[in-house]
């Protein structure tokens, strides 16, 4: 969907005038009037679908994203920034001082329910649009699958949430109530499974970025994995991964070179299952951060006050804000692994060699995220250059599904010895970087996931679902039976029937 995904930036501007952009359950009545006169043509239906997709990669106006929020709360990174007070919402996650008034819960709640609302509007309106039946069925399937993805994040992050399956009238706003998490998961599974038949097996290059059957099976596998439905999860991942590595029905293959995953020009490659798309054509500037299609991670993770002293030997990093510095523990673990260089920007070594200088900012370790490092050579040609990097990011990639299948098989009691399916999946990831096979154990799977998926938004969620967050994150202030979720934002509790979770002092 490269052509269409690049059109999203332009189309979504118009779409956002029609589809609510409210960062909460509230809906602007004026936007409802606009909606009532819209959704009359196939093109308008497509514009509405664009708006749903656009929310997947949404980045907050305060430079907070799902990725850097949970990275800051993990044992792989610190929040970083210029000082302990810089980017306070990330510092609160880093120190586990987050409250219902913090920006992170508000952003994540708003991001998720804005996506749900946009999907619901499209699903409500599209039935009355005269258009090709096959195209309509595909749009409906995509909207349902996207709604499921938003709900999967919401239920994992907040647990106690409302289940909203249609646009909400203003009179209904204050009567919305939460439902058991089991009901949310049931709906997620229903949306995903019902969407499969109308989605294509493979995605044409011109449509890169849209959902196909493979991506939906991968998401469904993660949904089952989170609920500890091991056999069901393994079955879904097997459909994604294929009968053997490189033999996926959906065309997925591991890239031969791990480093190529992070080449900014290598978008929607054979390893990509679900990818968040960004581009450098946005006019986003300092006054409207988060409103465009550029990726702010390039500037966030860059070393602060970076100066190449020996330009011929120095990487062409853009001087950034020192967000998400890598912990010493993770660096010690990955230092001698073949994935080290494509993963870690080692400013410590470069500085000691006299090649560069940079500011030792908050929580500095000397190690930064190489995967998303902004480069002078890839800066945008328009808009605010520092905010418009075109680096895409993976929500799910094939190495991830290989490792999740191995884990699900192990937990299900399936055979895991040499030559078994689990053994093949785990060691295919290692073979790509020329490492010898290892036995299928949880310790080996957990280590492999950590090293393979650094800075890809998986570590915090992995620790929580493994029950290891209280011990692994104690040094940051993580409290068991509380910090596995985030508090419901205070604004959602005011004048409504939504109740705060018990873990956060509420009654729900």
Looking at residue 419, what DSSP letter applies?
Answer: T
192, HSE (Cβ side, Cα atoms, 13 Å) = 24
Cα(405)–Cα(421) distance, rounded to whole angstroms? 9
- Contacts of residue 214, defined as CB under 8 A and 6 or more positions apart, other chains included, come to 201, 202, 239, 240, 248, 249, 250, 251, 252, 273
Q: What is the pTM of this model?
A: 0.93
Q: What is the CA radius of gyration of the chain?
A: 22
Query: Do residues 49 and 138 touch, judged by C-beta distance below 8 A?
Result: no
Nearest alpha-carbon partner for 253 in 413, 429, 64: 429
- The count of other CB atoms within 10 Å of the CB of residue 397 is 23
493, HSE (Cβ side, Cα atoms, 13 Å) = 17
Cα(250)–Cα(201) distance, rounded to whole angstroms? 6
Cα(331)–Cα(63) distance, rounded to whole angstroms? 25
The predicted structure's pLDDT at residue 35: 67
**Ordered alpha helix ranges (H), 335-458:** 340-343, 347-352, 398-412, 421-432, 442-452
Domains annotated for the chain, with CATH where assigned, are: 2-225+488-504 (1.25.40.390), 297-373 (no CATH)
Cα(421)–Cα(433) distance, rounded to whole angstroms? 20
Cα(75)–Cα(72) distance, rounded to whole angstroms? 8
Q: Chain-centre distance of CA 376, in angstroms? A: 25
Query: Do residues 118 and 20 touch, judged by C-beta distance below 8 A?
Result: yes
Query: What string of DSSP letters covers 32-56?
Result: HHHHHT---SHHHHHHHHHHHHHHH
Cα(465)–Cα(103) distance, rounded to whole angstroms? 24
Query: Do residues 155 and 184 touch, judged by C-beta distance below 8 A?
Result: yes
Looking at residue 77, what DSSP letter applies?
Answer: B
- The count of other CB atoms within 10 Å of the CB of residue 210 is 18
The predicted structure's pLDDT at residue 21: 35
Nearest alpha-carbon partner for 265 in 251, 279, 250, 246: 279
The predicted structure's pLDDT at residue 22: 38
| Phi, psi at 502, each rounded to 5° | -60, -35
What's the CA dihedral at 29, 34, 37, 38 to 10 degrees? -130
Q: Chain-centre distance of CA 345, in angstroms? A: 22
Residues paired with residue 344 on neighbouring β-strands, in sequence order: 369
| Phi, psi at 345, each rounded to 5° | -90, 105
Burial class (CB in 10 A: 0-12, 13-18, 19+), 6: middle
Nearest alpha-carbon partner for 293 in 205, 380, 423, 411: 380
The predicted structure's pLDDT at residue 60: 84
The predicted structure's pLDDT at residue 185: 99
Burial class (CB in 10 A: 0-12, 13-18, 19+), 241: buried
Q: Is the C-alpha dihedral spanning 201, 202, 203, 204 positive or negative?
A: negative
- Structure tokens given for 310: 């020996």
- pLDDT 10s digit of each residue in the chain, 508 long? 333 332 333 333 334 433 333 334 544 544 554 566 789 999 999 999 999 999 999 998 888 999 999 999 999 999 999 999 999 999 999 999 999 999 999 999 999 999 999 999 999 999 999 999 999 999 999 999 999 999 999 999 999 999 999 998 877 888 999 999 999 999 999 999 999 999 999 999 999 999 999 999 999 999 999 999 999 999 999 999 999 999 999 999 999 999 999 999 999 999 999 999 998 877 777 777 767 788 999 999 999 999 999 999 999 999 999 999 999 999 999 999 999 999 999 999 999 999 999 999 999 999 999 999 999 988 877 777 777 888 999 999 999 999 999 999 999 999 999 999 999 999 999 999 999 999 999 999 999 999 999 999 999 999 999 999 999 999 999 999 999 999 999 999 988 899 999 999 999 8
**Measured CA distances, 269 to 255, 275, 392, 451 (Å):** 8, 10, 11, 21
């Amino acid at each position: 969907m490269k052509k269409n995904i690049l059109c999203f930036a332009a189309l979504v501007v118009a779409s956002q005038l029609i589809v609510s952009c409210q960062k909460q359950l509230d809906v602007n009545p004026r936007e409802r009037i606009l909606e009532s006169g819209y959704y009359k043509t196939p093109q308008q239906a497509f514009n509405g679908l664009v708006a749903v997709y656009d929310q997947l990669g949404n980045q907050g106006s305060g430079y907070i994203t799902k990725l850097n929020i949970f990275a800051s709360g993990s044992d792989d990174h610190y929040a970083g920034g210029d000082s302990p007070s810089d980017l306070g919402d990330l510092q609160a996650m880093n120190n586990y001082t987050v409250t219902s008034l913090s920006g992170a819960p508000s952003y994540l709640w708003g991001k998720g329910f804005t996506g749900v609302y946009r999907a619901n509007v499209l699903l409500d309106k599209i039935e009355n649009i005269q258009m090709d039946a096959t195209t309509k069925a595909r749009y409906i399937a995509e909207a349902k699958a996207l709604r499921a993805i938003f709900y999967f994040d919401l239920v994992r992050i907040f647990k106690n949430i409302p289940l909203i399956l249609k646009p909400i009238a203003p009179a209904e706003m204050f009567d919305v109530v939460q439902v058991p998490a089991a009901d949310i998961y049931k709906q997620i599974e229903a949306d995903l499974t019902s969407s499969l038949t109308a989605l294509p097996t493979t995605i044409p290059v011109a449509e890169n970025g849209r959902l196909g059957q493979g991506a939906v099976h991968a998401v469904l596998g993660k949904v089952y994995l989170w609920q500890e439905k091991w056999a069901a999860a393994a079955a879904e991942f097997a459909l994604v991964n294929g009968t053997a590595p490189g033999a996926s029905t959906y065309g997925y293959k591991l890239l031969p070179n791990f480093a190529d995953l992070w080449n900014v020009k290598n978008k929607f490659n054979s390893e990509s299952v679900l990818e968040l798309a960004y581009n450098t054509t946005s006019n986003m500037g300092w006054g409207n951060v988060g409103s465009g299609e550029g990726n702010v991670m390039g500037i966030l993770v860059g070393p602060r006050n970076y100066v190449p002293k020996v330009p011929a030997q120095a990487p062409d990093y853009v001087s950034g804000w020192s967000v998400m510095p890598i912990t010493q523990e993770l660096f010690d673990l990955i230092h001698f692994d073949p994935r080290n260089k494509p993963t870690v920007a080692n400013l410590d070594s470069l500085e000691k060699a006299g090649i560069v200088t940079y500011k030792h900012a908050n929580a500095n370790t000397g190690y930064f995220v190489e995967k998303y490092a902004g480069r002078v050579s890839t800066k945008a040609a328009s808009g605010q250059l520092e905010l418009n990097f075109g680096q895409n990011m993976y929500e799910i990639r094939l190495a991830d599904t290989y490792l999740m299948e191995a884990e699900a098989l192990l937990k299900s009691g399936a055979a895991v010895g040499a030559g078994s399916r689990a053994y093949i999946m785990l060691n295919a990831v290692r073979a790509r970087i020329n490492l010898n096979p290892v036995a299928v154990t949880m310790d080996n799977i957990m280590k492999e996931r950590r090293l393979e998926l650094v800075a890809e938004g998986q570590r915090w969620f992995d620790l929580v679902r493994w029950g290891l967050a209280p011990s692994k994150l104690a040094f940051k202030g993580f409290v068991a039976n509380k910090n596995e979720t985030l508090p419901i934002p205070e604004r959602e509790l005011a004048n409504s029937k939504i109740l705060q979770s018990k873990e956060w002092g509420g009654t729900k």
